[in-house]
């Protein structure tokens, strides 16, 4: 399989706070990587560095064979290829669902409006929300908003999707519908990095799981091995905690 | 008293013509203030000092000096630099520039009131900074600051009475002209005040209505 993403010796500081301490990671096309780890370990920061929502001080990120240059205007083109889904959805509240979906394709990719609308309908159908096309985000449940957010990211035809705790702001009964969409996406061959504590999801669709602690990746393994043989006490303790809730 | 009332009734039409002039000046100045304020407000939040520093100077200076001085500076001061402005454009420019400083502060607060995640979501879809501002941040910011903008426009409408000093026959000046002829100060200034009140009251109702309509969608 061909490599799509490689992170080399990534260091990130917030002032004096050393948040990422030399991250190395590679990802093949079509792979699904699940990231777990305690709060504050740097999971979100790592994701945000990949599409350069966050600056970093040292290291390189290579996406589709090219080093991402944060200072080049090319960053906008790169971002269209890297879809991102946030914990709090961040749908645009002043726009209807359909306009949330077609805004970036028409403005950034110069797609014709009719074409964008057609595509939006297909994607909304795929996430089961075609009937909400004219709704405003505030009239949707959290689970519906997150599914729209996923469809919005897919409108750009990304080559990789980043998910930052996509279900942790949801009521428990709504988690399932979002995970179902993500599983469907994984099965369709999408490359994904998913920060989540949904271990069921990890076991079912992840190719690899990594455990982050204090700015480092401290363990990396396929899910069955990962969960059956935790590498150290800290990981075992963490797994026990999240598997028991 | 009967004389006073009679003067007011006879000259009410004349005062209304002045009020139309007031509305004209204020509307143009409002548009100018909005335009300037949007850019200066964004400028104040810019990372680059080249943008943020001049924006701050603009806002601080215009808010820290009297509007009357600014009007005189533009109408009487600029000609000595070789720039002659007629009274009407001078009045509109002075009010617009002044209002721009206040609108800038409102716009800045409005932009800051939109969740940071909105900007990041827009950028993560590949939008440039300007696209994110234009399509995502500013529409939400304007919705949030509509009441504050409404208040600013009401303040500007009242402040526009100051341009009577450079000889523009807006509402205030019209009143003064009538008084200089008739000496009916009480009824005419009373009438002028009522007309100002009628305009600001209507304006505040319109803003409230617009706010409600926007809240629905
Ligand atoms: N904007 C910021 N300014 C300063 N420090 C920050 C900022 N964002 C994050 N941090 C710090 O960086 C560290 C890593 O944060 P990060 O959000 O990446 O952790 P996380 O693993 O995603 O945690 P969580 O599970 O709580 O989301 C934390 O110590 C956090 O306090
Ligand atoms: Mg996080």
Q: Is the pLDDT of residue A245 over 90?
A: no
What average pLDDT does range B192-209 have in this prediction? 94
- Lateral strand order in the sheet of A17-28: A17-28, A3-14, A58-63, A66-67
Residue A191 Cβ inside 6 Å of ligand 1? The answer reads: no
Nearest-by-CA chain A residue for B117: A90
pLDDT at A191: 97
Q: B121 vs A156: CB contact, 8 Å cut-off?
A: no
Q: Is the pLDDT of residue A243 over 80?
A: no
Q: What is the DSSP letter of A209?
A: E
Does B129 lie at the interface with A, CB-CB under 8 angstroms? no
Average pLDDT taken over every residue of chain A: 93
Task: Enter the pTM of the model.
Answer: 0.89
Residue A16 Cβ inside 6 Å of ligand 1? The answer reads: no
Does B146 lie at the interface with A, CB-CB under 8 angstroms? no
Backbone angles phi, psi at A220, to 5 degrees: -155, 125
Q: Is the pLDDT of residue B2 over 90?
A: no
Decide if B171 contacts B190 (C-beta within 8 A).
Answer: no
Q: A76 vs B128: CB contact, 8 Å cut-off?
A: yes
Distance from Cα A216 to the centre of ligand 1, integer Å: 13
Does A116 lie at the interface with B, CB-CB under 8 angstroms? no
Backbone angles phi, psi at A163, to 5 degrees: -120, 120
Q: Is the pLDDT of residue A73 over 80?
A: no
Does A227 lie at the interface with B, CB-CB under 8 angstroms? no
Q: Is the pLDDT of residue A97 over 80?
A: yes
pLDDT at A69: 82
DSSP string, B103-161: HHHHHHHHHHHS-HHHHHHHHHTT--HHHIIIIIIHHHHHHHHHHHHHHHHHHHHHHGG
Distance CA A208, CA A206 (A): 5
pLDDT band, very low/low/confident/very high, at B217 (cuts 50, 70, 90): low
Residue A196 Cβ inside 6 Å of ligand 1? The answer reads: no
pLDDT at B157: 96
Give me A60's structure tokens.
């390189």
Distance CA A38, CA A213 (A): 7
Q: Write the residue with the smallest CA distance to atom 30 of ligand 1.
A: A40
Give me B138's structure tokens.
């500013």
pLDDT at A146: 97
> Which residues, 6+ apart, have CB-to-CB distance to B81 below 8 Å?
none
With vertex at residue B101, the alpha carbon angle to CA B100 and CA B102, rounded to the nearest 5 degrees, is 95
What count of other Cβ atoms lies within 10 Å of the Cβ of residue B93? 19
Residue A42 Cβ inside 6 Å of ligand 1? The answer reads: yes
C-alpha distances in angstroms, A102 versus A69, A74, A76, A147?
27, 21, 17, 15
What is the percent of chain A where pLDDT is above 90?
A: 84
What count of other Cβ atoms lies within 10 Å of the Cβ of residue B37? 25
Q: What is the DSSP letter of A36?
A: E
Average pLDDT taken over every residue of chain B: 94
With vertex at residue A3, the alpha carbon angle to CA A116 and CA A228, rounded to the nearest 5 degrees, is 105
User: Per-residue pLDDT tens for B106-133?
Assistant: 999 999 999 899 999 999 999 999 999 9
With vertex at residue A191, the alpha carbon angle to CA A185 and CA A192, rounded to the nearest 5 degrees, is 75
Distance CA B164, CA B15 (A): 13
Distance CA A145, CA A101 (A): 12
Distance CA B26, CA B202 (A): 14
Distance CA B163, CA B18 (A): 12
Distance CA A92, CA B72 (A): 45
Distance CA A48, CA A164 (A): 9
What count of other Cβ atoms lies within 10 Å of the Cβ of residue A227? 15
What average pLDDT does range A214-234 have in this prediction? 87
What average pLDDT does range A137-164 have in this prediction? 97
pLDDT band, very low/low/confident/very high, at A237 (cuts 50, 70, 90): confident
Q: With the C-alpha atoms ordered A192, A193, A195, A201, is the resulting torsion angle positive or negative?
A: positive
Per DSSP, the three-state class of A35 is strand
Q: Write the residue with the smallest CA distance to atom 2 of ligand 1.
A: A14
Nearest to A1 by CA among A23, A32, A35: A32
User: Which ligand is nearest to the Cα of residue A216, counting in written order?
Assistant: 1
ipTM of this complex? 0.94
Decide if B94 contacts B163 (C-beta within 8 A).
Answer: yes
Per DSSP, the three-state class of A144 is helix
Q: B124 vs A88: CB contact, 8 Å cut-off?
A: no
pLDDT at A22: 95
Nearest-by-CA chain A residue for B129: A76
User: Which secondary-structure segment (H or E) carries A22?
Assistant: strand A17-28
A108 to chain B, closest Cα gap in Å: 6
Distance CA A44, CA A49 (A): 9
Residue A55 Cβ inside 6 Å of ligand 1? The answer reads: no
Give me A180's structure tokens.
């179902």
pLDDT at A72: 78
Distance CA A6, CA A72 (A): 19
Give me A128's structure tokens.
């089961």
Q: B126 vs A136: CB contact, 8 Å cut-off?
A: no
User: Which ligand is nearest to the Cα of residue A37, counting in written order?
Assistant: 1
Distance from Cα B13 to the centre of ligand 1, integer Å: 67
Half-sphere exposure of B160 (CA within 13 A, CB side): 33
Distance from Cα A31 to the centre of ligand 2, integer Å: 21
Residue A166 Cβ inside 6 Å of ligand 1? The answer reads: no
Does B128 lie at the interface with A, CB-CB under 8 angstroms? yes
What fold does the segment set B2-216 form as a domain? MetI-like fold (1.10.3720)
Q: Is the pLDDT of residue B216 over 70?
A: no
Give residue limits of the domains in chain B: 2-216
Nearest-by-CA chain A residue for B118: A90
pLDDT band, very low/low/confident/very high, at A152 (cuts 50, 70, 90): very high
Strand partners, A85: A163
pLDDT at A240: 80
Q: Is the pLDDT of residue B215 over 90?
A: no
Decide if A97 contacts A133 (C-beta within 8 A).
Answer: yes
Q: Which residue has the tokens 């200089």?
A: B180
Give me A197's structure tokens.
């504590």
Q: What residues of A are in contact with residue B131 (Cβ under 8 Å)?
A: 107-108
């Amino acid at each position: 399989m061909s490599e799509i993403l490689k992170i080399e010796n990534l260091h990130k500081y917030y002032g004096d706070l050393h948040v990422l301490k030399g991250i190395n990671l590679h990802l093949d096309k079509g792979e699904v990587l699940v990231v777990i780890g305690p709060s504050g370990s740097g999971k979100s920061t790592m994701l945000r560095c990949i599409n350069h929502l966050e600056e970093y001080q040292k290291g390189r990120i290579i996406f589709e064979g090219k080093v991402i240059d944060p200072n080049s205007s090319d960053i906008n083109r790169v971002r269209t290829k890297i879809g991102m889904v946030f914990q709090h959805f961040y749908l645009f509240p002043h726009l209807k669902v359909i306009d949330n979906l077609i805004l970036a394709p028409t403005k950034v990719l110069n797609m014709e409006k009719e074409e964008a609308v057609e595509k939006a309908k297909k994607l909304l159908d795929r996430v089961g929300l075609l009937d909400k096309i004219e709704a405003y985000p505030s009239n949707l449940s959290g689970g519906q908003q997150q599914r729209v957010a996923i469809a919005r990211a897919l409108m750009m035809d990304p080559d990789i999707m980043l998910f930052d705790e996509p279900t942790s702001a949801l009521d428990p009964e709504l988690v399932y519908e979002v995970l179902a969409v993500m599983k469907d996406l994984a099965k369709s061959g999408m490359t994904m990095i998913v920060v989540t504590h949904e271990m069921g999801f990890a076991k079912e669709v992840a190719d690899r799981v990594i455990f982050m602690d204090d700015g480092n990746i401290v363990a990396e393994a396929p899910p069955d091995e990962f969960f059956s043989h935790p590498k150290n006490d800290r990981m075992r303790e963490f797994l026990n905690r999240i598997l028991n809730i | 008293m009967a004389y006073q009332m009679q003067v007011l009734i006879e000259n009410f039409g004349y005062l209304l013509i002045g009020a139309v002039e007031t509305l004209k000046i204020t509307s143009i100045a409002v548009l100018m203030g909005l335009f300037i304020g949007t850019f200066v407000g964004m400028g104040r939040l810019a990372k680059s000092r080249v943008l943020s520093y001049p924006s701050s100077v603009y806002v601080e200076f215009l808010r820290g000096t009297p509007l009357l001085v600014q009007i005189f500076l533009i109408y009487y001061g600029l000609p000595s630099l070789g720039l002659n402005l007629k009274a009407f454009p001078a009045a509109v420019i002075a009010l617009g520039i002044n209002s721009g400083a206040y609108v800038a502060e409102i716009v800045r607060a409005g932009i800051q009131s939109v969740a940071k995640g909105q900007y990041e979501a827009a950028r993560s879809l590949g939008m440039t900074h300007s696209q994110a501002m234009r399509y995502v941040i500013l529409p939400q910011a304007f919705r949030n600051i509509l009441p504050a903008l409404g208040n600013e426009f009401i303040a500007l409408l009242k402040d526009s009475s100051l341009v009577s000093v450079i000889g523009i026959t807006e509402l205030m000046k019209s009143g003064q002209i009538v008084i200089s002829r008739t000496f009916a100060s009480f009824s005419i200034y009373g009438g002028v005040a009522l007309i100002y009140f009628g305009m600001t009251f209507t304006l505040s109702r319109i803003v409230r209505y617009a706010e409600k309509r926007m809240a629905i969608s």
